Structure 1
Amino acid sequence: MNYEEFLETINTHKSPPAGLSVHSKSLWLDKKGDWQAAHDLIDQLDDPTSAHVHAYLHRVEGDLWNARYWYNRAKQPVFEGSLQEEWTALVKLYLA
């Protein structure tokens, strides 16, 4: 699935499409407005990719201290752009 197809599913599906990684599912749920479900998918995972998405989700929540903690766990710099720019970058990165 490419980025454009992923975006289309947000408008046409009630739940994440089959075959997405947990990271892409989390980002999909976030875009649908279900932050809690997005966070619940990632919260207990300990890999760097999950930590990266987790950092973004805490940035969305406005908990910048916690977001910085997760960026550090992911070995990623704190994202300096808008939330939309970060969401787009993460989707493109983790769909690949």
Structure 2
Amino acid sequence: MTYKEFMDSQTQLEAPAHLTPLLEALWYAGRDEWHRAHDIAQDNEHDPMHNWLHAFLHRQEGDFGNAAYWYRRANRTVYSGGLREEWQEMVRTQLPA
């Protein structure tokens, strides 16, 4: 799947089949389905990318202290740009253009 295909899939009712757990969580996060995305992020706390997503989700909900904790777990600085920009950056790290 390419970045464009992933972005186009955001209008579908269901997540595309065969996504990695991270991409599935990102798909839900992109549709503001916070709880579904958060459940997946929480189930994969051993992975820095899931921790980055976890940080993003807590920043999205306005829990900046918790977000800072997860950015540290992901070995990243707190993102200073917009939420949509950060989400797109995460997606781009997982898919070819």
Whether TM exceeds 0.5 here: the answer is: yes
Gaps of 5+ in 2: none
One-letter code of the match for 2:81?
Answer: G
Aligned position for 1:17: 16
Distance, in Å, in 2 between the alignment partners of 1:77 and 1:2 is 27
Aligned position for 1:6: 6
Query: Residue by residue, what CA displacement relative to the aligned partner does 1:21-79 show, whole Å, maximum 9, x if unpaired?
Result: 11111111112221111101111322211101101111111101000100000101111
Share of identical aligned residues, percent? Answer: 40
Q: Check whether the contact 1:24–1:95 (CA below 8 A) recurs between aligned residues.
A: no
Query: Residue by residue, what CA displacement relative to the aligned partner does 1:10-31 show, whole Å, maximum 9, x if unpaired?
Result: 11x2111112111111111112
Which one has a larger percent helix, Structure 1 or Structure 2? Answer: 1
Distance, in Å, in 2 between the alignment partners of 1:22 and 1:95 is 13
Gaps of 5+ in 1: none
Aligned length: 95
One-letter code of the match for 2:30?
Answer: K
Q: TM-score, length-normalised on structure 2? A: 0.91
Distance, in Å, in 2 between the alignment partners of 1:26 and 1:65 is 21
Q: Which runs of 4+ in 1 moved over 2 A?
A: none
Quick check: 1:52 aligned with 2:52? yes
One-letter code of the match for 1:41?
Answer: I
Q: Check whether the contact 1:56–1:67 (CA below 8 A) recurs between aligned residues.
A: yes
Distance, in Å, in 2 between the alignment partners of 1:63 and 1:94 is 25
Aligned position for 2:88: 88
Distance, in Å, in 2 between the alignment partners of 1:48 and 1:23 is 11
